[in-house]
Amino acid sequence: MMSTGIWLAIGCWWRSRGLLRERTRQSDSVGRWGGEEFLVLCPQTGLSQAEIGAERIRDAVGGRDFGLGHRLSLSAGVAELRPDDTPDSLLQRADEALYRAKRSGRDRVCVAP
């Protein structure tokens, strides 16, 4: 289990893992989660820094069409590891923040309480 870190649950209509990888640090782990979602594990990162990172990724996607003929957007949920978290509880909080971002109009980053 990691000592500190952030899960970013990212849901987007975008298929380029390469762009996501370009906008994260070498120490971050990027993986696909479900159909159109990705997870980014950001070890040794504070919540505000992870939120800034998620906004950078969102900005990189915004306005691009990746050859699909329409503008894409990105919604993200950010959650920080708590001492009593399990991998499942951390992921659940990030996922809830992601869906709050989607319900709030999409193309935004929401932080889990």
Select which of 22, 36, 80, 96 is catalytic: 36
Cβ count near 25 (within 10 Å)? 11
- 106, 38 in Cβ contact below 8 A? no
Cβ count near 102 (within 10 Å)? 17
Catalytic site includes residue 36: yes
Q: How is 18-40 classified by DSSP, letter by letter?
A: HHHHHTS-TT-EEEEETTTEEEE
Active site residues: 36
